[in-house]
Each structure stands twice: as C-alpha cells, then as structure tokens.
Amino acid sequence: MTMKNLLGTTVSFAMLMSATVATTAASAQTIDELYAAAKEEGMLTTIALPHDWCGYGGIIADFKAKYPGIEVNELNPDAGSADEIEAVKANKDNKGPQAPDVLDVGLAFGPSAQAEGLLQPHKVAVWESIPDGIKDADGHWYGAYYGVMGFAVNTDMVPNPPQDWADLLKPEYAGMVSLAGDPRASNQAILAVLAAGMAMGGAPGEEAGQKGLEFFKQLNDAGNFVPVIGKAGTLAQGTTPIVIAWDYNGLSWNNALAGNPPVEVVIPQSAALAGVYVQAVSAFAPQPNAGKLWMEHIFSDEGQLGYIRGGCQTARFGELVAAGKVPQEMLDAMPPAEAYKNAYFPTLEEVDANKVAVTGGWDATVGANVE
C-alpha cells in the first residue's frame, strides 16, 4: 500500500510508519531518574484525552500502574486542539491543577504553538523511530498516531449507510449528519471540512477548505446537518446517527456500544484523508518531569500498543509489527488495509492553509453553531 506522506512524497506504508528500526534507547537509570523527579511532583495534568479516543483509557491506566505515586489529573476530556492551546496560554503564570502539563493536538497546532513559545523540547528514548515528517527536529512536538476520516453510522437508524461525501446530501439523510467537534476549534472537525473539500475537487489546502465550507453550507441548507457534536451517546440515541469522525473513534464507539446499536465505519470512496496528532510538553508545565515521563510512556512499546488496541495507526507501527510485538488479535481487529490504499497525508502547509480557511470562514459561510 502506498500513500502520500507529510512531505508530499509517495512512500510505502511500511516506510512511512517505521522510517528506521534503529532506536536511541535511554538507559534504565535515566528513566528511573525521571520517574523519581516526577514522583516528587506527584501529579500529571493531561487535557483533551477522552478514554474512548484511540485507547487513551487503557493508556492512562497503564501509566498509573507503571508509575505509582503519580496522580493523573484529567482536564476537559472533550476539549479541541484550540482549547488545549488556550488552556496553556491562560495558565502561563498558574502552577495549579488547571494548567496542563502535556498536549495532544492536531498537526497544524504543534508548529504554531512552538512559534508562540508554548512548548518545551524533550526527545523521547525512541526518537529515531519517529518519522522525520511528523516531528520537530529539536523535539518540541512529535506525532504519536493517526487515523483516517470516515463516517460512523448507526445502522439501526440508517440501514443504507452513505458511502461517499456526496451521498450525505441525499434527502434520506435529513437531520442525521454531524461533526465530532466544533470546526472553529476541533482539529478533527477542521480536517473533516478539508476532506469534504477534497472530495468536491479542491486541491488540499485553502482551496479544499473553501470547497469544504461550501459543501457544509449545502448540507446545512438541505436540513441534513445537525449542529451537535457527535459522540457515542448521541450516535446511540439517534440524535446524530451519522457522525463524521476519525475511523478509530467510530471503531471505539462500536466496541463500547457492543452492538446496541450496531455502528458501521465507512471510509469515503473519493477522499480518504489521514490526520496525525502530535504530542508536546507545555513550556509552562507545573509538573515538567511528569510530562516528560508521560511522553516516554506513550512512545514506549507498551504505549504504542495501547494506541493500536484503540484502533489507531501509530508512529512506530511498522517497527513493532516487523519485530513481532503486535499480537495477531490486535492486527485482526484493525481496519483492512485495502480501505486505506488511497489515504492522503496532507503536508503541514496544506493543513495550516485549510485551518485558516475553515476557522475563519465557518460562521460566515455555514453559520451553524456546533456545540
């Protein structure tokens, strides 16, 4: 399987996600010292990490078990990437529990936060295993996982699921279609607009952002768009029976709902957009050592397997598979590779241009207040 990487070059899936199997392993003493310092701090403050997002519930539980004595303070699990950045800015001079230590944000938000001086560098032990295209050379931010934009569909209410973006405009889907976030703040929703715009023929970046806005205007004018943030509960209740979301969220919701109702995850035929999420330690982290220890955890074999268990492709996926470290049952539970054969990884410049177009133009063009 081949796809475009973040630098716009066509590469094999294995090349993109393994890059190199060489690692720069930190000594046990280094990790022990970091743990000791983090234990003195006594707490790690995260933000925007829902337990059903990419396996974070299990990843957090594993961190607690692995590093006893460090409380995990979870702020606003449903926050968007922009909300995370604002939380850092608002708490620059605050060392209390409302100040996040670590961030998990969409790709475009990493470099912009770095430019504003909001991040501190930390290169994890497996630094060399993270592909160059999804990390800052100095360690201010680095990608941990990615997903592909799709439709999570409650098939009890929608027995004929839409197969592509244009299908969402059909009258049979009146009052059914939602986004999994506010497109003025949520990276997931912002990139959903980009994917729609690409399906409408727009070149990735500003053009697709504009065409995506026009598509959602049509969807809203047709009465098909529901201005409610879609999640497992609204999907199950039928408030939002079709949610445009990352594939791993739809898979997680299906697992959580255990078939009541059944949820089908559809990858659109015309535009399969991949999106990387990057990790960072706040420059103003009240517990910086705990923040760095968290980074070591999520990039370790154990942490990366936690993401895979949650249905996500990870930065070290190819390396772990090649080393035989991913159990077959995990691989069997992943979406079939065929569904992602045309997945497109937008460049950082394309992501930035789309973000500006969508966040700046949603109110004027679409006018739906998503909440």
Nearest-angstrom CA–CA distance, 62 and 306: 9
Q: Residue 57: what pLDDT?
A: 96
When pLDDT is cut at 50, 70 and 90, the band that residue 8 belongs to is very low
- Average pLDDT over every residue of 123-138: 93
- For residue 107, CA distances in Å to 49, 103, 126, 190, 289 come to 16, 12, 20, 11, 24
Contact 16, 5 (CB under 8 A): yes
Q: Which two tokens stand for residue 287?
A: 């517990």
Q: Residue 307: what pLDDT?
A: 95
When pLDDT is cut at 50, 70 and 90, the band that residue 228 belongs to is very high
Nearest to 270 by CA among 220, 315, 227, 211: 211
Residues 142, 147, 152: CA angle, nearest 5 degrees: 150
Q: Residue 239: what pLDDT?
A: 96
Gyration radius from the chain CA atoms: 20
Nearest-angstrom CA–CA distance, 134 and 130: 7
Contact 143, 312 (CB under 8 A): no
Nearest-angstrom CA–CA distance, 184 and 369: 9
- Please say if the pLDDT value at position 136 is more than 50: yes
Decide: pTM greater than 0.85.
Answer: no
Other CB atoms within 10 Å distance of the CB of residue 29: 8
Name residue 135's beta-bridge partners: 142
- Please say if the pLDDT value at position 161 is more than 70: yes
In the chain, list all ranges with CATH 3.40.190.10. 20-146+278-338, 147-274+343-363
Q: Which two tokens stand for residue 127?
A: 């630094």
pLDDT digits (tens, 9 = 90+) for 67-98: 999 999 999 998 989 999 999 999 999 999 99
Q: Residue 88: what pLDDT?
A: 97
Q: What is the mean pLDDT of the chain?
A: 89
Q: What share of the chain is helix, strand, coil (3-state, %, to 5)?
A: 45, 15, 40
Q: Which CATH number fits domain 20-146+278-338: 3.40.50.10190, 3.40.190.290, 3.40.190.10, 3.30.930.10?
A: 3.40.190.10
Other CB atoms within 10 Å distance of the CB of residue 210: 19
- Please say if the pLDDT value at position 19 is more than 80: no
Q: Which two tokens stand for residue 200?
A: 């409408």
Q: Residue 340: what pLDDT?
A: 65
pLDDT digits (tens, 9 = 90+) for 248-269: 899 889 988 988 999 999 999 8
Nearest-angstrom CA–CA distance, 144 and 277: 6
Identity of residue 321: V
Nearest-angstrom CA–CA distance, 304 and 322: 14
When pLDDT is cut at 50, 70 and 90, the band that residue 271 belongs to is confident
Nearest to 79 by CA among 67, 88, 70, 91: 88
- For residue 244, CA distances in Å to 30, 102, 250, 251, 331 come to 42, 27, 9, 12, 24
Q: Residue 342: what pLDDT?
A: 73
Q: Residue 255: what pLDDT?
A: 86
Q: Which two tokens stand for residue 125?
A: 């032990």
When pLDDT is cut at 50, 70 and 90, the band that residue 142 belongs to is very high
Nearest-angstrom CA–CA distance, 72 and 290: 10
- Average pLDDT over every residue of 159-167: 96
**Which of 2-6, 55-59, 153-157, 232-236 is predicted with the least confidence, judged by mean pLDDT?**
2-6
Nearest-angstrom CA–CA distance, 173 and 218: 13
Q: Residue 272: what pLDDT?
A: 84
Other CB atoms within 10 Å distance of the CB of residue 127: 16
Length of the chain: 371
Q: Which two tokens stand for residue 252?
A: 């997680």
Superfamily of domain 147-274+343-363: Periplasmic binding protein-like II (3.40.190.10)
Q: Residue 21: what pLDDT?
A: 32
- Average pLDDT over every residue of 96-119: 95
Nearest-angstrom CA–CA distance, 73 and 90: 18
When pLDDT is cut at 50, 70 and 90, the band that residue 38 belongs to is very high
